[in-house]
């Protein structure tokens, strides 16, 4: 299965600032997924990132707040913009290795906004 | 849209005993995939087991097995010979097989999670 390196593992940020989270995969993948996990809750998909095209956002998530880049088949970033305490969550990236239908997740970024 | 429901917020089991975690889902699709993921305090999401809906045989991975009841839309996870390392949050998840217009192909829909405690 794919190995994903996700950075940073955690951060404490001031409200109004932005944080960029990076995910590097050890092999080429078609789609990368970004999830949010609010404290004590389940995972919710933010967006799907395909290389060379605009990310597809789920209902309730907008590009201005969560801009995503996907410059190649092994790398993606998620930016959490103009942060507020409500953005305090764990953010995870995930990939779906084609034809295996198994998903691999990054180790997550624990974000605290103060 | 598909929904996944885990009705047990918390479960506990004695070490070496067996525990079953429940999951139900709602879908109009006939072909799909179901997964159980484990999330220990380290936050890492670990795939425990997966089931293809077109397969009648229940999936098994060592001490982990599922009871897949397609008609009832039920997908429970049985953990046998429970170990202290099994303590974690467990998530049931659904994935569509086919691309549907306007939806995110390949996305996972998760249940609310069940916290499993293992007592020594």
d(CA A54, CA B57): 39
Q: What was the pLDDT predicted at B31?
A: 86
What pLDDT is stored for residue B29 in this prediction?
Answer: 87
Which candidate from B33, B50, B107 shows the least CB-CB separation from A33? B107
Domain of residue B115: give its range: 3-99+106-119
Quickly count: other Cβ atoms within 10 Å of residue A33's Cβ: 24
> Over 50: is that where the pLDDT of B103 sits?
no
Tell me if B32 sits within 8 A of B95, measured CB to CB.
Answer: yes
Residue-level pLDDT, tens digit, chain A, 114 residues: 678 999 999 999 999 999 999 999 998 888 899 999 999 899 999 999 987 778 999 999 999 999 999 999 999 999 999 999 999 999 999 997 655 567 889 999 999 999
Q: What is the CATH number of the domain that holds B90?
A: 2.60.40.10
* Chain A contact set for B45 (CB, 8 A): 43, 92, 94, 103, 105, 108
Among A112, A114, A105, which Cα is nearest to A43's? A105
Which domains occur in chain A, in start order? 4-113 (2.60.40.10)
- By C-alpha distance, which of A112, A95, A103 is closest to A8? A112
| Cα of A108 to nearest chain B Cα, Å | 6
- In chain A, residues with a C-beta closer than 8 Å to the C-beta of B98 are none
Per-residue pLDDT reduced to its tens digit, B35-71:
999 999 888 899 999 999 988 899 999 999 999 999 9
Of the listed ranges A55-59, A60-64, B8-12, B111-115, the least confidently predicted one is A55-59
Q: Tell me how many domains chain B contains.
A: 1
pLDDT the model gives residue B102: 45
CB atoms within 10 A of CB B108: 23
CA triple A87-A45-A30, angle to 5 deg: 125
């Amino acid at each position: 299965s794919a190995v994903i390196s996700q950075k940073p593992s955690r951060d404490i940020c001031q409200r109004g600032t932005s944080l960029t989270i990076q995910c590097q995969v050890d092999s080429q993948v078609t789609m990368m997924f970004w999830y949010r996990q609010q404290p004590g809750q389940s995972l919710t998909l933010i967006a799907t990132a395909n290389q060379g095209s605009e990310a597809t956002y789920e209902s309730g998530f907008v590009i201005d707040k969560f801009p995503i880049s996907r410059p190649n088949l092994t790398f993606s970033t998620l930016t959490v913009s103009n942060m507020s305490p409500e953005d305090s969550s764990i953010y995870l990236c995930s990939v779906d290795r084609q034809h295996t239908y198994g998903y691999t997740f990054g180790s997550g970024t624990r974000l605290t906004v103060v | 849209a598909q929904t996944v429901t885990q009705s047990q917020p918390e479960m506990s089991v004695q070490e070496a005993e067996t525990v079953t975690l429940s999951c139900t889902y709602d879908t109009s699709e006939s072909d799909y995939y179901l997964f159980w993921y484990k999330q220990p305090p380290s936050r890492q999401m670990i795939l425990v087991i997966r089931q293809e809906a077109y397969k009648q045989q229940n999936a098994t991975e060592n001490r982990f097995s599922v009871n897949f009841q397609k008609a009832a839309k039920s997908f429970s996870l049985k953990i046998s010979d429970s170990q202290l390392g099994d303590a974690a949050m467990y998530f049931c998840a659904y994935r569509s097989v086919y691309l549907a217009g306007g939806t995110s192909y390949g996305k996972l829909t998760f249940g609310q999670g069940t916290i499993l405690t293992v007592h020594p």
